[in-house]
Amino acid sequence: MPLLEVHRRLGSTNDRARIIAREGAASFSVVIADEQTRGRGREGRRWLSPPGSGLWMTVVLARRPSGHSTVPLLAGIAAARAIEEACPDLRAGIEWPNDLIVADRKVGGILCESWDDGAGGRGMAIGTGINTSQRVADFPPALRDRAASLRAMGATSVSRPALAGALLARLRELLIPGAARLEGALHRELTRRDALRGRGVVLGSGETGTARGISSAGALLFEEPGCGRREIRSGSVSLLPGP
């Protein structure tokens, strides 16, 4: 039977999820915190998680699915659907590899962390952070041109319990036991939600080019002038600044 833990304050919901998984928690157990003091994003970046301002939630997969490289994007689709269910006024997109976007503003992100306990146990924590109620002025100055919350983007009301429920339901639908497939209608939905497709981007390595979509294996299709198209399977990417 999956567990549900709701905490007033935690260091990290992903860290707590790993603990309960090692203690035997079933898949789709959930850890939610009103505040995180050590929330993090990809590459160890700090994720601001002040009290009462967002959904800070991690879902346990007691067994890491095959094809797990696509899990962050499947989780992104689940989160985008959940945002639209909880906030019908908004339309949510996905920015490879793990950001949740509304009208070119980052409102959330996905952090999937796997583990191998050395005794055959291979699990995964699917962490989701969604800003629900901050004003743009609440973010640090360096983030104000990019970050936003659902309310700041025009949601007339945001229920965190409804958002959490919708997210869990959509994750259960998309993460088929034993597999994580990104194909058919799901791949077409990802293409529709892809916030980078057809736009100029810069990779973390400094290379510039055009994003041409996301493959069914979860790779960014990157086209560099004069060098053709190739797949980017890891790293960071951002939009090229406008003129």
Of the options 3.30.420.40, 3.30.390.50, 3.90.550.10, 3.30.930.10, the CATH number for the domain spanning 4-193: 3.30.930.10
DSSP tag of 72: H
Q: Give the mean model confidence (pLDDT) for residues 22-48.
A: 89
Q: What is the pLDDT of residue 178?
A: 65
* Contact indicator for 132, 151 with CB cutoff of 8 Å: yes
Q: What is the pLDDT of residue 130?
A: 98
Q: Which residue has the higher pLDDT, 41 or 143?
A: 143
Q: How far apart are CA 97 and CA 232, in angstroms?
A: 10
Q: How far apart are CA 107 and CA 153, in angstroms?
A: 9
The mean-pLDDT minimum among 53-67, 127-141, 171-185 falls in 171-185
pTM of the model: 0.94
Confidence of residue 145 (pLDDT cuts 50, 70, 90): very high
Q: How far apart are CA 23 and CA 231, in angstroms?
A: 38
Q: How far apart are CA 185 and CA 183, in angstroms?
A: 6
- State pLDDT tens for residues 170-223: 999 998 766 678 889 999 999 999 999 999 999 998 999 999 999 999 999 999
Domain with CATH 3.30.930.10 in the chain: 4-193
- State pLDDT tens for residues 91-104: 999 999 999 999 99
Q: Would you mind telling me the total number of residues written for the chain in this entry?
A: 243
Q: Has residue 167 got a pLDDT over 90?
A: yes
User: Which residues does 228 contact at the CB level (< 8 Å), separation at least 6?
Assistant: none
Q: What is the pLDDT of residue 16?
A: 96
Domain with CATH 2.30.30 in the chain: 200-239
- As assigned by CATH, the class of the 200-239 domain is mainly beta
Q: Has residue 120 got a pLDDT over 80?
A: no
Q: What is the pLDDT of residue 2?
A: 93
In 3D space, the residue among 79, 118, 125, 120 whose CA is nearest the CA of residue 102 turns out to be 79
